[in-house]
């Protein structure tokens, strides 16, 4: 019977190959959209880890994490550096990292910080930053590049760069009197770190001497800047790591009630969860589109089977005349549909993993971290639903054939 089914499929191989390709691509897209959603959620969650609190001027928690972690947008206000020091010196605080934003270089954000950034900042599963080349800051006018910046702009160690005032891709105000030199290039992380330039806070203070309300009022050289106190007056935000994470909610409440100035502290995990929730509409739209593609593939399978059913009536009648029961013919057509759907599911899943392994490094450069994993329970469920849909599709031509009589089949005109 199975050899007969296989030979029957081979007699219609041209049409079935097209249906097989359609089903395979449908399953690939269906599973690919689900995997893309998981990758996006994973990329969000692995952007920052090991940080218990993020502190900044009072604003919304989504806005605070967007400009502090993703370096998107601008802060409504800054926090005083003396306030940062007061909070960072608390007994409960194990480490702290100041963050200062506001400048850029050829469209990439410049982040002012200190050496603690490279010692304590972690991402993913508490993975530390590593240097591909060079080392961390050596002087106030050194800069560490993210991997994407170095690759896109072709920079290497000791190259000189000019920081621009403001965060736009095109700036009419450059800090050209105080160039920075590249001291290090970080390894690729698949996070916003790759698209950032890191300079010391003293360097940020130095290049803004002689600037007022976003305009340069007087020219200052690097030698003149080094002669003054370069301690910043304010920063954008700060990452805080606590000695005991159970104190996070208490510290958060105390920061939110800080008397010196209006500040707020957020839990990175909660803020990332809220940020992902804002994308739920797009997530649902992608799921709908991928489901529609699978449905179209199933309809194509049904259309092809019904289209050739009349052409196969004489074939079915000959089987009946040779002793095949209606149940066997039902099983034959049902099995053909099951085999086609099963082959499409297997090929679609295989294609997904082939693309996953082949495009992992490319996606990582775009900030999407794709970790090769076995199919999740959700993906197995989607495959099961697709296979069940194929089985139901196969019932229609099988039932029609089951109801046909021998005389009806033999009376077909050629």
For 268-293, the DSSP string reads HHHHHHHHHHTTHHHHHHHHHHHHHH
Please check whether residue 15 is in contact with residue 305, taking contact to mean a CB–CB distance below 8 angstroms: no
Tokens of 243: 């000695």
* Alpha-helical segments (H) within 76-186: 81-88, 116-120, 147-153
Closest CA to 344 of 9, 36, 34, 17: 17
Q: What is the pLDDT of residue 241?
A: 96
Q: What is the pLDDT of residue 385?
A: 82
Q: What is the pLDDT of residue 183?
A: 95
Q: Which residues pair with 242 in a beta bridge?
A: 93
Q: Which stretch of DSSP H or E encloses residue 43?
A: helix 13-45
Closest CA to 239 of 71, 111, 86, 68: 68
Q: What is the pLDDT of residue 239?
A: 97
Please check whether residue 256 is in contact with residue 264, taking contact to mean a CB–CB distance below 8 angstroms: yes
Q: What is the pLDDT of residue 405?
A: 47
Q: What is the pLDDT of residue 74?
A: 83
Q: What is the pLDDT of residue 412?
A: 47
Closest CA to 408 of 312, 332, 305, 275: 312
- The segments of the chain whose pLDDT lies below 70 read 1-2, 4-12, 168-172, 211-217, 308-327, 360-373, 398, 401-414
Closest CA to 105 of 174, 192, 42: 174
Please check whether residue 366 is in contact with residue 151, taking contact to mean a CB–CB distance below 8 angstroms: no
Closest CA to 301 of 344, 330, 331, 332: 344
Entry pTM: 0.74
């Amino acid at each position: 019977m199975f050899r007969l089914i296989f030979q029957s499929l081979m007699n219609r191989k041209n049409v079935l190959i097209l249906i097989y390709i359609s089903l395979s691509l449908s399953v690939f897209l269906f599973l690919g959209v689900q995997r893309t959603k998981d990758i996006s959620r994973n990329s969000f969650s692995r952007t920052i880890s090991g940080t218990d609190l993020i502190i900044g001027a009072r604003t919304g928690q989504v806005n605070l994490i967007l400009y502090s972690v993703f370096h998107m947008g601008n802060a409504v206000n800054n926090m005083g550096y003396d306030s940062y020091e007061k909070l960072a010196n608390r007994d409960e605080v194990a480490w702290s990292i100041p963050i200062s934003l506001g400048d850029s270089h050829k469209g990439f954000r410049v982040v002012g910080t200190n050496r603690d950034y490279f010692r304590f900042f972690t991402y993913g599963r508490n993975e530390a930053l590593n240097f591909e080349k060079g080392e961390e800051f050596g002087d106030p006018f050194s800069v560490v590049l993210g991997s994407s910046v170095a690759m896109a702009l072709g920079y290497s160690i000791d190259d000189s760069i000019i920081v621009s005032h403001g965060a736009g891709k095109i700036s009419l105000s450059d800090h050209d009197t105080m160039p920075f030199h590249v001291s290090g290039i970080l390894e690729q992380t698949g996070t916003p770190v790759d698209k950032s330039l890191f300079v010391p806070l003293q360097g940020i203070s130095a290049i803004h001497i002689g600037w007022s309300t976003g305009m340069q009022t007087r020219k200052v050289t690097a030698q003149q800047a080094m002669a003054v106190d370069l301690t910043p007056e304010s920063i954008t935000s700060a990452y805080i790591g606590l000695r005991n994470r159970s104190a996070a909610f208490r510290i958060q409440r105390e920061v939110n009630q800080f008397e010196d100035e209006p500040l707020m502290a957020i839990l990175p995990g909660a803020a990332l969860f809220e940020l992902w929730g804002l994308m739920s509409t797009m997530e649902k739209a992608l799921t709908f589109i991928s489901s529609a593609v699978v449905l179209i593939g199933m309809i194509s399978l049904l259309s092809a089977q019904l289209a050739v059913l009349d052409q196969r009536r004489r074939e079915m009648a000959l089987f009946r005349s040779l002793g095949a029961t209606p149940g066997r013919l039902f099983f034959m057509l049902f099995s053909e549909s099951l085999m086609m759907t099963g082959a499409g599911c297997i090929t679609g899943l295989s294609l997904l993993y082939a693309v996953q392994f082949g495009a992992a490094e490319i996606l990582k450069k775009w900030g999407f971290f794709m970790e090769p994993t076995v199919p999740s329970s959700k993906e197995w469920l989607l495959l099961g639903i697709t296979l069940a849909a194929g089985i139901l599709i196969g019932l229609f031509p099988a039932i029609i054939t089951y109801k046909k009589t021998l005389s009806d089949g033999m009376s077909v005109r050629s």
